[in-house]
Structure 1
Amino acid sequence: MDALAGKPQSPYRVFSREEWAELRADTPMTLNADEIERLRSLDDPLDLMEVEQIYLPISRLLTLYVEATQGLFRATRAFLNTNGAKKVPYIIGIGGSVAVGKSTTARLLQALLRRWPNTPKVDLVTTDGFLFPNEVLAAEGLMQRKGFPESYDLPALLKFMSDIKAGKERVAAPVYSHLVYDVVPGAEIAVENPDILILEGLNVLQAGTKDVRAVPFVSDFFDFSIFIDAEENTIHDWYVDRFMHLRETAFRDPNSYFQRYASVPPSEAMALAEDLWGRINLPNLRENILPTRARASLIMRKGEDHRVEEVALRKL
């Protein structure tokens, strides 16, 4: 955010938390505390105040954007005299580093958008399902590059996005399990004519690829995009803390890929978390994720307590 806000020619208008909260206007609060608790991820201190001050204004903004897009569709249909044409889903991309709260943001916006007065159908898909299976990654020597752009089946992801934007009746997305740390064979999520589709993932805003055949880019299909941002050292702390907490919870499941780390001494687990961060997640953040920040429609800047301190909205 600092790199954007300080430039007089910035394409963004930057709002403080207080300024952004005022933009909620009269948007009704449609979620209760219990629902928010179920939507939030581990160590993400989401509460009613955060939703009211940050996410409700985003929901209101998206309402206006979707309505405007639908109006443009109607105008184009009238101009082309294609009354039978069917509108295609409005696609929202959510990107950012590991441990910044992408999943919480995606689930929360899905829940809020579903409760608009016209109750739109809102689907959520994560790009994790488009990772190559571990067997393929291992054969290609990419297990230590998992999450990097080359670890995804980009042609499959592009086809999925193209089918969605083409208005295909039913489009299937593969499923990823964080428990077993792999794509689930044969499992899929069916996306059937949603009004809105949210696509969440590490590199969703990336515009470059080593595969020159991969045109267009995934981000070209987005109508609106959100980047969740924080200081590098802060993200590091969140990642390590989450790993240590998972060691006490999910890693203890016998089916967990990381089950072997549940019983090691804390010092060894901490060393592993630091190694994974420094060898995989930090390089991916610097090389592939952070450079895409300036492509987002909206940037949410979080502080050390995980709460959003600033919001930057791209000027039209």
Structure 2
Amino acid sequence: MVKTMDSIAYSPFRHISRAMWKDLNGHLSYPIANEDIHQLNALNEPLTMREIEEIYFPLSHLLRIHVDCYRRLHQNANAFFNNQAKRLPFIIGIAGSVAAGKSTTARVLQKVLSLGPDNPKVDLITTDGFLYPNEYLEARGILNRKGFPESYDTKRLLGFLSDIKSGKEVVFSPVYSHLVYDIIPNELQQVTQPDILIVEGINVLQVNVQALRGPKVFVSDFFDYSIYVDADPKNLLQWYIQRFQWLRKTAFQQPDSYFHRYADLSEAQSIEMATTIWEEINKPNLIKNILPTRLRADLILEKGSHHFVKSVKIRKG
């Protein structure tokens, strides 16, 4: 049977299996100590040297290609305009659901990219710092929608990224504490002209037009490359429950933890509570606001049930 043009399925992405992906990095390798791997790990999410070698070394190699092209373009543009403008940071956005492992991906990439031949300065910020304070959210009755588009100070985040891409020497980002579940007053993270800046958060590829007035500018407009960490929603729920149980035994035990009230839950109660939070808050946010942004990414890391990447999708062209 001959296929007609109408029956051929086209995709803007190239699908690459893990087996193929791990051989694409030209055998670049960097020494990473076991202690570093432990520090890069997040909560109960597994991370092994094999995962770094087979997934993150090739990814860092690909990103280095993009960074090098970005720098050559900047140099050529400077020559064209006969000026010596400052080299601007290459910005990488990392998006994905709650519990998908975005934070680990961001930290591992920061580490591996910083080990490059020229030892670039790689900074990392999370968009959690641009959440509105709890007081603001409570006053508007949306504390239970933390993580939804309306809970972010989008204007401030756009201003931060604009300053970075304008070449401002020192830029400050607000700091968020997961322990107290709120912005830390008067505490800022200083970002000083990095070679590469990684911006991680569930909202980095979202288009929140309701928060803007006048010309529409989006967070992703400032990215030179974007990554989406993807997983089956059933796995995400399971990982979220596991993380909640781990936190119940650790961070929730601290008296100053916002979630200290969950510290004495039984295992069955903690599973029920985590499931309720997921179904009422995280799942609706995933379906409505996060998952639809997946196809806006340049690269998608597809995770299997054990949290390890099983395949990669890369935008063609």
TM-score, scaled relative to structure 2: 0.95
Cα distance, 1:212 vs structure 2: 4.0
Distance in 1 (CA, whole Å) between partners of 2:183 and 2:152 is 11
Distance in 1 (CA, whole Å) between partners of 2:203 and 2:209 is 11
Q: Report the counterpart of residue 158 of structure 1 in structure 2.
A: 158
Cα distance, 1:34 vs structure 2: 2.2
Q: Report the counterpart of residue 253 of structure 1 in structure 2.
A: 254
Q: Is the 8 A contact 2:253 2:260 kept in 1?
A: yes
Q: Report the counterpart of residue 100 of structure 2 in structure 1.
A: 100
Q: How does 1:110-149 map to 2 (within 5 A)?
A: 110-149=110-149
- Residue deviations 1:34-80, cap 9 Å, x none? 21111010121110100000000000001111000000001111111
Which is further off, 187-196 or 205-214?
205-214
Q: Report the counterpart of residue 224 of structure 1 in structure 2.
A: 225
Q: Report the counterpart of residue 59 of structure 1 in structure 2.
A: 60
1:25 aligns with 2:26: yes
Could you list the runs of 5+ residues in structure 2 that have no partner in the other structure?
A: 1-6
Cα distance, 1:315 vs structure 2: 1.0
1:39 aligns with 2:40: yes
Q: Is the 8 A contact 1:32 1:48 kept in 2?
A: no
Q: Report the counterpart of residue 305 of structure 2 in structure 1.
A: 304
The percentage of counterpart residues that share the same residue type is: 51
Partner AA of 1:175 in structure 2? V
Q: Is the 8 A contact 2:155 2:212 kept in 1?
A: no
Length, aligned pairs only: 310
Partner AA of 1:183 in structure 2? I
Cα distance, 1:115 vs structure 2: 0.9
Cα distance, 1:277 vs structure 2: 0.3
Q: Report the counterpart of residue 109 of structure 2 in structure 1.
A: 109
Which is further off, 19-28 or 261-270?
261-270
| Structure 2 counterpart SS, 1:180 | coil
Distance in 1 (CA, whole Å) between partners of 2:270 and 2:308 is 27
Could you list the runs of 5+ residues in structure 1 that have no partner in the other structure?
A: 1-5
Q: Structure 1 residue runs of 4+, over 6 Å off?
A: none
Distance in 2 (CA, whole Å) between partners of 1:161 and 1:142 is 26
Q: Report the counterpart of residue 69 of structure 2 in structure 1.
A: 68
TM-score, scaled relative to structure 1: 0.96
Q: Report the counterpart of residue 275 of structure 1 in structure 2.
A: 276
Q: How does 1:185-224 map to 2 (within 5 A)?
A: 185-213=185-213, 215-224=216-225
| Structure 2 counterpart SS, 1:226 | strand
Q: Is the 8 A contact 1:149 1:209 kept in 2?
A: no
Distance in 1 (CA, whole Å) between partners of 2:51 and 2:9 is 29
Superposition CA RMSD, Å: 1.3
- Residue deviations 1:160-185, cap 9 Å, x none? 00000001010000000000000000
Cα distance, 1:7 vs structure 2: 7.6
Cα distance, 1:207 vs structure 2: 2.5
Distance in 1 (CA, whole Å) between partners of 2:142 and 2:210 is 15
Distance in 1 (CA, whole Å) between partners of 2:151 and 2:186 is 19
Q: How does 1:85-96 map to 2 (within 5 A)?
A: 85-96=85-96
Cα distance, 1:26 vs structure 2: 2.2
Distance in 2 (CA, whole Å) between partners of 1:275 and 1:196 is 38
Q: Is the 8 A contact 1:30 1:112 kept in 2?
A: no
